[in-house]
Amino acid sequence: MSNANFSMPKPYNEPVKSYLPGSPEREALKKELDYQASIKVDIPIIIAGKEYHTANKGKCVMPHDFNHVLAEYSIAGEEELKLAADAAMAAKEEWANMLWEHRASIFLKAADLLAGPWRAKMNAATMLGQSKTAFQAEIDSACELADFLRYNVAFAEQIYSQQPENSHGVWNRSEYRPLDGFVMAISPFNFTSIGGNLPTAPAIVGNVSVWKPSRTAVLSNYYYMKLLMWCGLPAGVINFVPCAGSDMSRYVVSHPKMAGFHFTGSTAVFQSVWKQVGEHIAGYANYPRLVGETGGKDYIFAHPSADVEPLVAALVRGSFEFQGQKCSACSRAFIPASIWPQVKQGLMEKTAALKVGDVQEFDTFMAAVIDQASFQTCKGYIDRAAASPECEIVAGGTYDDSKGWFIHPTVIRCDSPYYESMVREIFGPILSIYVYEDSQLDETLRICDTASPYALTGAVFAQDRQAIVKMERALRNSCGNFYINDKCTGAIVGQQPFGGARASGTNDKAGTGLNMIRWLSAHTVKESFSPSSAINYPYMAQP
Ligand code: NAD
């Protein structure tokens, strides 16, 4: 057994490839897209490393061509979910005791394979199954997921090295144990990287988990599970159980050894699971750690001194990339009346030029929303705005579900900053704008801060520095990630720690030490080298 203190490889952000015509990465991706579009994958449940097939099946389809079935997956029920929790607990001791350098190596290897031979496979599955363009898949399933793996290993290393002070004759030690139970990970559809990170971050520090992927991201998430197994993740450490959300709540939340809940998704689901945890609180062996990154109503707020061209670019990219389905996507904007005519003109021109279509055509800017339910939600907002005397459809306002769930990029100007599309999360390519009088800056900042319950991301645009200072102060609690003269999307692991507060989550910042520490239970050891035999204290001596 080695007794050296090893140095961890330094983490770095995986460089984003360009996919220029003729580049090797583009050729490899096209080949893989053709291949994945030509096969139908049979996706099992994976418990303790074993595959389970059930009669209850779900389908993975292309949102931009919903009759095309990419895969069928088995859906776990009560029996499989209970088995998964037991399998996690059975794998726990050996995993927690694996030497750190070996545990870490599994995830560092996975990062390198993702960035190398598995890159095209992961990106193609994300493109076809979640309707992402090549670039949107690249920054998600290749780069961000590799970044999560590399940085989380480095953050764990930093935490492990934090040690208490010592005094004469005493050595104090802190060790950081995994939680005394298993982690329940429930992930959303919109980022393959988040799906991967939710069970993996706790696993890096020695936890075991039951992982429920989103039903609309099962294909890419399954390939990630296979990658971890290929890299030597021991059986039972992560158990992959596509299932109904309600079954997860019923059979896993109530388990006495559920020690942590790692969630990303909507505010409503997080709140409902939190309530269930509350109902079971007396039955748990520990108080479960609850970590949730949830909804958003992200904004761009422009000052009259804003530079219009980058402002328009930020509005278009921030609102419409990946069909507005990033949790950080801009979905409301506050524009001063003095620059509104130029901003409006820019939005109309740039939005009309965006190609909406199939992700396999590389000139596509945006594709389809994730499913029929999302299509109906977006359509409802557009139809109501079109019929409302309070709203003007500035751009888009059309949709088409004959082949895929396409919502065209839509800009709505609203007379009221409290109109429904200005305050509710829609999660589609719909940007609502309130035009304020330049003289009403202070009041409008207050409305931006308080009109919606969320606080995830926000951006301000201004050239005037005093204005930036004022806006930053006024909007301090309106978001967890604040941008100055930049769009409100695109946070990078290690550079802009990501997460929001209020109804947007517990703000534990995915991909940071703040998040990793939630999966650890510190244990303090004091050793006295020369133990005292005294009972009485000096002050007790009689004069
Ligand atoms: P969702 O809440 O519909 O689903 C998330 C997961 O919860 C899925 O796996 C789903 O099957 C599961 N689920 C549903 N009902 C459940 C129940 N009763 N019990 C247990 N699990 C249940 O979210 P989504 O549509 O997949 O993702 C979009 C949402 O995620 C948006 O609200 C978005 O803002 C949010 N999001 C937030 C962040 C962030 O960092 N704050 C990041 C990505 C997505």
Q: Write down the pLDDT at residue 477.
A: 98
Whether ligand 1 lies within 6 angstroms of the CB of 354 is answered as no
Residue 312 has pLDDT above 90, yes or no: yes
Contact 56, 203 (CB under 8 A): no
310 token code pair: 């980058």
Residue 2 has pLDDT above 90, yes or no: no
Whether ligand 1 lies within 6 angstroms of the CB of 194 is answered as yes
CA 190 to centroid of ligand 1, rounded, Å: 9
**To the nearest whole percent, how much of the chain has pLDDT over 90?**
99
If you average pLDDT over every residue of the chain, what do you get? Answer: 98
Per this entry, what is the length of the chain? 543
Collect all residues with Cβ–Cβ distance below 8 Å to 178 and sequence separation of at least 6.
Answer: 92, 95, 96, 202, 205, 206, 207, 208, 519, 520, 521
Within 10 angstroms of residue 438's Cβ, the number of other Cβ atoms is: 12
Block residue for tokens 């200072």: 469
Contact 212, 241 (CB under 8 A): yes
- The stretch 374-394 carries a mean pLDDT of 98
Residues labelled as active-site residues: 293, 327
Q: Write down the pLDDT at residue 503.
A: 98
Element (H, E) at 90: helix 78-96
pLDDT digits (tens, 9 = 90+) for 425-443: 999 999 999 999 999 999 9
Whether ligand 1 lies within 6 angstroms of the CB of 125 is answered as no
Query: Which amino acid is residue 170, in one-letter code?
Result: V
Distances (CA, A) of 406 to 85, 135, 138, 204, 485: 39, 19, 22, 39, 30
Distances (CA, A) of 303 to 158, 373, 385, 462: 41, 36, 26, 5
Report DSSP state, residue 355: -
CA 248 to centroid of ligand 1, rounded, Å: 13
Whether ligand 1 lies within 6 angstroms of the CB of 272 is answered as yes
Nearest CA owner, ligand 1 atom 39: 293
- The stretch 253-277 carries a mean pLDDT of 98
User: To test ligand 1's pocket by mutation, which of 191, 220, 266 has the most ligand atoms within 8 angstroms of CB?
Assistant: 266
Q: How far apart are CA 411 and CA 432, in angstroms?
A: 6
pLDDT digits (tens, 9 = 90+) for 67-123: 999 999 999 999 999 999 999 999 999 999 999 999 999 999 999 999 999 999 999
Nearest CA owner, ligand 1 atom 22: 245
- The stretch 318-327 carries a mean pLDDT of 98
Contact 207, 289 (CB under 8 A): no
Band the pLDDT of 1: cuts 50, 70, 90. low
pLDDT digits (tens, 9 = 90+) for 286-297: 999 999 999 999
Q: How far apart are CA 108 and CA 507, in angstroms?
A: 26
Q: How far apart are CA 137 and CA 443, in angstroms?
A: 40
CA 292 to centroid of ligand 1, rounded, Å: 10
Residue 146 has pLDDT above 80, yes or no: yes
Nearest CA owner, ligand 1 atom 20: 245
Band the pLDDT of 3: cuts 50, 70, 90. confident
Whether ligand 1 lies within 6 angstroms of the CB of 500 is answered as yes
Whether ligand 1 lies within 6 angstroms of the CB of 342 is answered as no
Q: Which atom of ligand 1 is found nearest the CA of 427?
A: 31
Within 10 angstroms of residue 80's Cβ, the number of other Cβ atoms is: 22
Collect all residues with Cβ–Cβ distance below 8 Å to 164 and sequence separation of at least 6.
Answer: 172, 173, 174, 524
Collect all residues with Cβ–Cβ distance below 8 Å to 161 and sequence separation of at least 6.
Answer: none
CA 191 to centroid of ligand 1, rounded, Å: 11
Strand partners, 61: 69
DSSP string spanning 450-469?
Answer: HSSSEESEEEEE-S-HHHHH
CA 36 to centroid of ligand 1, rounded, Å: 26
Q: Which atom of ligand 1 is found nearest the CA of 374?
A: 25
